[in-house]
Structure 1
């Protein structure tokens, strides 16, 4: 299990764009990760999306899945926290939104490594609420030394 400070050592994002609160399972044999983001009514994006019916923007759900994939990629690559590597979000394919994500939800983020070629990484990702798929996508990340 990883707490937020350990996550911050691996990801360049910070508030309000750090969208992974905790890693609950990391299986390097299966190359999967299970994380979550707790959503409260105090999230900035709920103020304008939408004022009378707050819904997490789909693009932020996809970003949260990409951040989970970035953490997994970091461990697969065996990068120690603090190394000068970042994973840029390069593409999202087969994106699907099935149910709105609202204040009070716990957004579970699951990523599975699909493959890598010339520092381009692909991950199958899911975002779930209460065990039901809210969104899914194939995320492509590009590894970059900074």
Structure 2
């Protein structure tokens, strides 16, 4: 994870466009200034960042399903449940699955595990819009390469 750049996904482990699901990994930093205040003596990953990690995972799934033709923007978070603490240094496995897509919106369900232990889950709704600026598309293409997005999955 690169918290300072709000990049919460390290690598794509699996992208299955037929099943409409994705699995990614993210290594929580062992040390970061965010843990100095959240919380002193008991550092844990903020729930809002875990929610954002689920949203970013879902976003990569949607980009693949949309063949990078539209950009997903987080619109609604429902049923977010924090089920356990995430500590510095832990490896997160994040799964997301498309539940519905249509009328300019998409809904996913996502969850984060550490090992086999479920840490959080949420239902996420995204607005789908054309890329607002060509520079953003170039940036997203570069990030896709960086995290191992299987571009062959969208060129078939």
TM range (shorter): 0.7 to 0.9
* More helix as a share of residues: 2
Q: Which residue of 2 aligns with 1:53?
A: 42
Q: Confirm whether residue 34 of structure 1 aligns to residue 23 of structure 2.
A: yes
The normalised TM-score by structure 2 is: 0.78
* More strand as a share of residues: 1
Equivalent residue of 1:114, what SS?
Answer: strand
**1:95: Cα distance to partner?**
0.9
Q: Which residue of 2 aligns with 1:96?
A: 81
Q: Which aligned segments of 4 or more residues in structure 1 are displaced greater than 6 angstroms?
A: none
Equivalent residue of 1:61, what SS?
Answer: helix
Provide the rounded CA distance (Å) in 2 between the counterparts of 1:66 and 1:100. Answer: 19
Provide the rounded CA distance (Å) in 2 between the counterparts of 1:99 and 1:34. Answer: 20
Q: Which residue of 2 aligns with 1:44?
A: 33
2:53 to 56, 61, 64: 64
Higher Rg of the two aligned structures: 2
RMSD: 1.8
Provide the rounded CA distance (Å) in 1 between the counterparts of 2:17 and 2:102. Answer: 18
Q: Which 5+ residue runs of structure 2 have no aligned equivalent?
A: 133-156
Q: Which residue of 2 aligns with 1:8?
A: none
